[in-house]
Amino acid sequence: MKLLCLQCGNYTYFETDITTVKEITTDPDGLSIDNALFPDLNYTEDTIRDNLKDIVDYVLKQDDSGLAFDPETESYYNRHIICARCGSGKVSNPIPRPLPCDLSLEEELDKNREEFNYLRKERKHHENKLPVLRQQ
């Protein structure tokens, strides 16, 4: 899962606006518009694929600064990618981020000490069970 719509839970289908390039050909009958073709490449298709890859990579690498605040709905939305199922802009990278906390760091550490100790014990438990190479 790379992106998640917080409105409908979709994590597969998305939409984004990108630029591409078309070719205008003039002839005596008028103008015709088609894909821009060069001898070794289809420029229109390549720009669509490259620009889509760029915008997706950019959004995936961004942190919270990629989200903009909408005062009307009092929620954050993605400025670049929207959900293709429900049209919502509440599309985010589904990596949990640290929430703002009223506690000081020391209080937070104390609060989570038991959980951390359990995690450490769990790790030691697995460490002790690592396969050991037999000596010949």
Partner 1 sequence: MKISCPSCDNNKSFLIPLWVRCTFKFNKDGTISILHVRQLESLEDKIVDQGKTSFAITCKECGNDAEVILNEYEDLETQKRQSLALGDL
- Positions in the binding site for partner 1 (CB under 8 A): 1-3, 11-27, 31, 33, 36, 43, 48-49, 52-53, 56, 84
Nearer to partner 1, 23 or 107 (CB): 23
Q: How far is CA 31 from CA 35, 43, 44, 59, in A?
A: 13, 19, 18, 38
Residue 26 beta carbon to partner 1: minimum distance, rounded to whole angstroms: 6
Residue 4 beta carbon to partner 1: minimum distance, rounded to whole angstroms: 11
Q: CA–CA separation, 48 vs 129, rounded Å? A: 51
Nearer to partner 1, 6 or 56 (CB): 56
Residue 73 beta carbon to partner 1: minimum distance, rounded to whole angstroms: 22
- Classified as helix, coil or strand, 9 is coil
Nearer to partner 1, 14 or 66 (CB): 14
Q: How far is CA 79 from CA 48, 62, 67, 109, in A?
A: 19, 11, 6, 35
Q: CA–CA separation, 92 vs 1, rounded Å? A: 11
Residue 69 beta carbon to partner 1: minimum distance, rounded to whole angstroms: 24
Nearer to partner 1, 22 or 123 (CB): 22
Q: What residues contact residue 93 under an 8 Å CB cut-off, 6+ apart? A: 2, 3, 4, 59, 60, 62
